[in-house]
Chains A and B, each alone.
Chain A
Amino acid sequence: MPAPPNPTLSELFAAHPHDSGWAGFLLAQLRPDKPLLWVQDRMAILENGRVHPPGLPAQDLIHVEARDARDALWAMEEGLRCSGLSAVVGEIWGDPKALDFTATRRLAVASERSGVAAFLIRLGGHANLSGARMRWRIASAPSLANDLDPKAPGLPAWDAELFRARGMPPGRWSIAHEADRFHLVAASGDRALGEERRLSA
């Protein structure tokens, strides 16, 4: 899994507005030692639900419900100035005007200066010009086999496409997360192979 050497701004595009697979992918990367600032704009909450703390890892959380993208970006930038946070997550719905190259560039610079990782989640948006250092497109993939119940969903898996990154070649992975580690799994559908790879990893 490619990861930036220093905390910076990553942009995560949900493959489909109602696909929350990115949440699992993102949460697996966060360090739980410090509080997390989670900013959602109003449309993101309406369309995709509000953050549900019991489903998150045990971590202190400050949740901001922003009126629009401008407020959300402002709150993210304020958060990035605060070194007491582990990461700042911001969810923006669609392609608002406020979210231009300058805005993303500001976030990236603020994040690199303070050492707080920033994740900009784009729900139903287009990959326009952006200052983000890593740009991902995340889709849910059929989950791994459930050892206990073959009919039940197992560990979540994702199709992650890194389509732009600074100093890294782009790529595409099918991955799952277990016990603090990402595992490569085979392409979607072929569960038997994924299962083997996971067990042997």
Chain B
Amino acid sequence: MPHLAIERWAKSADCPPDSPTVLTVEGTHGPVIHAVTKAAAERGARTGARLTDARALDPTLVAVPADPEGDAALVRRLARWAERWSPLVEVDGDGLRFDVTGVAHLFGGERGLVRDIQRQFAGIGLTTRIAIAPTAAAAWALSHFGRSSSIVTPAKAGAHVGAGRRTLEKSSDMDASLRWHDELNALHVSALRLDADTVRTLERLGLKTIGALIGVPRLALARRFRGAEDVVDALDRALGRKPEPLTAAPADPPPRSTLRLEEPATHPEAAPQALERLIPDLVRQLQERHLGARRLSLTGYRVDGSVAVASVATSIASREPRHLQRLLADKAAALDPEFGFDAFALTADWIEDLRAAQDSLVEEPSGERELARLVDRLTVKLGPRRVQRPKAEESHLPERASGWVAAISSSLSAKPMGRGTIERRFNGGRVGAKLLHHSTSSSGPPPQPYRAREELCRPQRLLDRPEAIDVIYATPEGMPRRFVWRRAVHDIARAEGPERIAPEWWRQPSSARLRDYYRVEDSSGRRYWIYREGLIGDGRGGLPNWFIHGLFG
């Protein structure tokens, strides 16, 4: 990105493109020009010149201090963004290096890739010079000194944006390698990224292009240039005789604190003791980065080359040492040292933003946070499937209507489920599967609205699996009179129903039968929710079966 600094400045300062502005950095003898706008360049300002010299040519130049750190941060951010093109992106000065091995075909070949990169970078207002070459050094050379967006293709390799390039794969055949050597040979020796003194020496020796340099015997070169000014080395990297692997910039590494032991510890208490030392360090890291941990793992490294991991999750981000300690302590104690641990690492694998906050003046934890910690502790000990919160589902089938989700994964502000939910649902105008028989008597108050009756009709307890019961009824479609559940006979004193719930034909098989629910009360006053599955002659099986599904309080 040859004009990164000035383009970034122009964008942030929102300046007209024709203003003669230069960005300056402090040099040994006063400000030195770091970057220039096009208008300033036309008036004689050059990068690397002193500001006073440029002002002598044109006194109207506007000087603004440059921000190299901001530029570098932008490049680092762009490196992350550029991972859309290649998994391996490395920051290289003001440019980016991509390993595009096996990538180009995804973007319609190398030309397509270059076009795409150029277009995307132009979209965010940055000019790019791109070169694709078999070695990283060659790509750098071509992108800085070669034709605009040059692609030299001897087999596959790496690319450099702005200073974009490719790394070599050793599959180049002779012809192709000769061809791309030609491209490189024409370039000036400074394309090898040698320092200024070396370049000057080479120029004095008459070795102005890389081609000329290649012609010189290696031994002579190696003898003449040693140490830092290693010309042979630079040449080898450019030509692919020496590997130059890319190191991708890692994403923000998760907070991690480690502890190494002098002697392997075989004592079972070793892990909890290590935990006590690791947690304050980790909490400090989290504090510095304003993060809270959602998942922590303690890794114990054994001497025999195996590892033991204990991990816990929290329902809200936390960096409170005592809480984390309590969560992990039991699991840490259960880690088996076998031949002994010689190192421990505590990593916050899953982190979330957590700003410092004070809930109240007195040091009293808020209810919500207290609750989240309770859920954490319960979940760590009993497992996420045993600590649950209700989750309402859009269904009339009772067992589906009240789903459960692990409490640790559901947010605490979720709407509580209860009669309110049911009410809202039936207000929504869905009728369909419901049928209630109101037998109104002439005396007494007028029948209550449909919704109010609805609220009463759900039991407080539901059996996980409806249990078959034997029922004696007056008429097949009529009210049940007596039923046998778990070998106990219940005489039905009063009953209400049926409430018909039709099968969900869009997800159940066509043989599923409808259910007629009855609310019944036996002679001792216990109330049950029983249903008849199916009707006689509905063509989905023989006689209807009866089940008990819920108990009323």
Contact = CB atoms under 8 A, between A and B. Distances in A.
Interface in B206-260: none
A75 B374 CA distance: 9
A98 interface: no
Given A18-B486, A52-B461, A152 B495 contact: yes
A40 B378 CA distance: 13
Interface string A17-51: 01111111111000000110100000001101111
Nearest to B410: A62
Interface string B500-530: 0000000000000000000111011111000
A130 interface: no
Contact of A151 (B369, B386, B463, B496): B496
- Interface residues of B toward A: which range? 35 or more
Which of B418, B420, B445 gathers the greatest number of chain A CB atoms within 10 Å? B418
Interface in B397-434: 398, 401-402, 404, 407, 416-422
A102 interface: no
Contacts of A63: 387-390, 404
Interface stretch (B113-121, B171-179, B436-444): B436-444
Nearest to A78: B377
A73 interface: no
B171 to A, nearest CB: 60
Contacts of A156: 527, 552-553
Nearest to B521: A153
Contacts, number: 210
Contacts of B388: 62-65
Contacts of B422: 54
Contact of A150 (B389, B398, B404, B441): B441
A54 B461 contact: no
B474 interface: no
B12 interface: no
B458 A54 contact: yes
A74 B463 CA distance: 25
Contacts of A53: 390, 392, 402, 417-418
Contacts of A81: 374
A52 to B, nearest CB: 4
Interface string A169-197: 00000000000000000001000000000
A79 interface: yes
Interface stretch (A1-9, A104-112, A137-145, A160-168): A137-145
Given A25-B553, A62-B375, A142-B524, 20 more contacts: A18-B488, A20-B460, A20-B553, A21-B553, A35-B416, A53-B390, A65-B387, A71-B381, A78-B377, A78-B378, A83-B367, A84-B369, A139-B525, A143-B521, A146-B494, A149-B438, A150-B441, A151-B495, A157-B525, A188-B525
Nearest 3 CB-CB pairings of A with B: A23-B553, A58-B418, A24-B553
